[in-house]
Structure formats: structure tokens, C-alpha cells
Amino acid sequence: MTIQTQSSESTTLSQVGEPQRIIGRVNWVGLKTLYLKEVRRFMKVQLQTIWGPAITTLLFLVIFTVALGRGGATVMNVPFPDFIAPGLIAMAMIQNAFANSSFSLLVGKIQGTIVDYLMPPLSNVELMVAMVGAAVTRAFFVGGAVWLVMLFWPGVHVTLKHPMVALWFGLMGATFVAFLGILTSIWAEKFDHNAAVTNFVIAPLSLLSGTFYSVDRLAPVFQAISHANPFFYIISGFRYGFLGTTDSNIWLGGSVLLAVNIVLGIGTYFLLRSGWKLKA
């Protein structure tokens, strides 16, 4: 009887003495942990996830400046190398943000580790914010790497004239494709599905967004098609941050991207909440 009393007393003292973590309305610890996990995942292979895309983007710069940049060619009264450089930075950011956010949930479904994302005490909003945040971080790492090299590239000037504008469109663009990446990873059942979206949606829209040309030179029909491409506003607005000139309405583009991101964020939340193709 005495032993039982002592045991119950020690158990009570142990339970009282143990610090208990109370999770508030936002699980900041869990959110930070998942975000850092996603960042460390791509940082462990940074030659592939950061420096590889940066080198590929710089090769685009070399090829197009050698082929079209000689002879004083200008676009929108700007030297051609200066014109395409900001667009190349934004294009690299877009493609890598999508690659990052479209990977985790898909791999989890294929490898059977999706429970690692669904079981922790994280809300759907916290899960979404952590994954989008990691994708945006990778986008800015790649964009920053390309920009730093271009600063020392002969014949190319990438000095920021409107830093806050470039930051806004870089952030909105990376967030936009990060949401698309999460939606793709929810829908996809194998890597072929992910590759199809990358090759037939993301790559064409980014390449046909005015990165290498001004849409003002296109026929009216193709101008209308370009203006329906959200990537056009990302590239054009980001370029304005560097050059101070653009072929679109900056305020309209920024507002459109913000509205699209809000809609995508709400759609992604409800899709995660439903558990469609995530919960067996």
C-alpha cells in the first residue's frame, strides 16, 4: 500500500515537474521547423538546386547577348543585354520556386512518407505557409546568385533603380508559382505528371512572357495573349525595378498578381483541408 502511494505521488510530481508546451493559435515552432526542413533539403544539394540553375541562366545571357546583343541593338531604348538580364533573373526565380514546392508532397506520396506532413500538429495554413516560404527562399537564393554574377558581367548593367518594386514582383511571382507547385504536387501521382506541368505549362509561359522581347513589337492578337499571361506581369514588373521602364502597367500588374495569389492561397487551403489525393 505504501509503495503504491509513493509511486502515485512520484508520478504526480513527475507530471507536475515536466514542462508542457502549449500550442497557441499558431504553432510557430512547428511552422519554423517545417520551413527549415524544406530549406535544408534543397541546401544539401545546392549545386543542383541553386548554382546549377544560376549557371544555366547565365548561359542564356551569354548566348543571347552574343547572338543579338552586338551592334548596339536596343529594346525599349535600353541595350539588349540590360533588357534581358532582369527577365532572366525573374525566370530563374519562377522556375525554381515551382520546382521546390512541387517536390515535397509528391515525393511523400510516392515514397509513403506523406504522413510526416499530415500527422504533426500543424494546421493546413501553417503547412502551406512553410512550403511556400521555402519555395520563395529558394527563388531568392537563385535570383540573388544570378544577380551577383551579373553585377560583374562585362557589358551588362543590373543596378536596381526601384528596389521595392523588384522585391514586390519577385515576391509575388515566386509566391504565385509556389502555390501552383503545391497544387501540382497534390494532383500528381507520379513524377511524369509533375514533369508535364513543368514542360508544358511553366516553361512555355515563362519563355513567352516577354523575357527576350518587348510585347509591344507583337501583333495585336499576340499582345492580347501575352497580357493574359500572369508571367508577363512578373517579368515586366521585375524588369521595371532594374530599368525604370516597362511595357505594362505596373500598378495593374502588381494588383493582378496579388489578387491571383489570394485566390490560389484560398484554393490551396481548401484542397489541403479536403485531403484530396493526400489522405487514403
Quote the pLDDT of residue 73. 77
CB 99 within 8 A of CB 198: yes
Q: What is the pLDDT of residues 169-204, one digit of tens each?
A: 999 999 999 999 999 999 999 999 999 999 999 999
Q: 158: Cβ–Cβ under 8 A, 6 or more apart, which residues? A: 82, 85, 86, 89, 147, 150, 151, 242
Window from 125-129, 226-230, 238-242 with minimum mean pLDDT: 226-230
pLDDT tier at 97 (50, 70, 90 boundaries)? very high
Q: Which cell numbers hold the place of 211?
A: 523575357
Q: Which cell numbers hold the place of 169?
A: 514582383
Find, among 164, 151, 161, the residue nearest to 85 by Cα: 151
pLDDT tier at 41 (50, 70, 90 boundaries)? very high
> What is the distance between the alpha carbons of residues 10 and 7, in angstroms, rounded to a whole number?
5
Q: Which cell numbers hold the place of 126?
A: 501553417
- Predicted structure pTM score: 0.88
Q: How far is CA 33 from the centre of its chain?
A: 19
